[in-house]
Amino acid sequence: MPDFDQWLTPPGVAGAFMKWAKIGDTDVVLEPAAGEGALIPPNHRGVVAFEIDPERADELRYWKPLATIVCADFLQVPPIYNFADVCIQNPPYSDDGEGTFLRRALQWAPRCCGLLRAGALQGAGRFEKCWKYVRPTRIGQLVHRPHFEGIYGSRTKHTPQYDFIVLECVLREQPLEREDETSHDVVEMSWLFWR
């Protein structure tokens, strides 16, 4: 079975995250790495979710009938600019995938909210891949580390070795030249007690 780098969002964290993301009742929502669909808002009709695993995509179609499920690698699909109002995601973490997914999602929606490892904000490589072009607007530090599960309920290396944040971001008007310029970003910060 292929490894799609799937680390599934716990239900309690998913519910709190969706409230934090401030999704409007009529918003078109994009979910680029749906997994088991924990971040697909229940009873929300305007959801388009991508899932790379064909078996999981079929399960999502059954369990999330109001959502449009696309079985594809989100990073390989040409973006439809401003297709959605907001993107919500718990993106793959391998190879600094968080930044790649955030930047691509902001081609589809003007605002993106993600559940990320706190370390995703740091480093010259991540700056070049993401933060040079993407500006955080809100950050929530998770006080407790979520216990993610891997495919079919297996424990993962991402539990509980990393600290996690939730982040809302937008595209920058102009790319930054240097990493130290991110120190000028004004970001709303909060501490979150999600489990």
CATH code of the domain occupying 11-178? 3.40.50.150
pLDDT reported for residue 1:
38
What's the burial of 57, exposed, middle or buried (CB within 10 Å: 0-12/13-18/19+)? middle
% of the chain beyond a pLDDT of 70: 86
Q: Where are the domains of the chain?
A: 11-178
Contact assessment for residue 89 and residue 115, using Cβ atoms and an 8 Å cutoff: yes
pLDDT (tens digit, 9 = 90+) per residue, 35-48?
889 999 888 999 99
Distances in Å between the Cα of 158 and the Cα atoms of 31, 37, 90, 94, 147 are 21, 19, 12, 10, 8
Q: Which two tokens stand for residue 158?
A: 């991402």
The stretch 180-194 carries a mean pLDDT of 89
When pLDDT is cut at 50, 70 and 90, the band that residue 195 belongs to is low
Cα–Cα distance measured from residue 44 to residue 64, given in angstroms and rounded to the nearest whole number: 10
pLDDT reported for residue 110:
98
- pLDDT at residue 107 above 80? yes
- pLDDT at residue 161 above 90? no
pLDDT (tens digit, 9 = 90+) per residue, 145-159?
766 655 545 555 545
**C-alpha closest to that of 124 among 81, 179, 193:** 179
% of the chain beyond a pLDDT of 90: 64
Q: Which two tokens stand for residue 61?
A: 């179609």
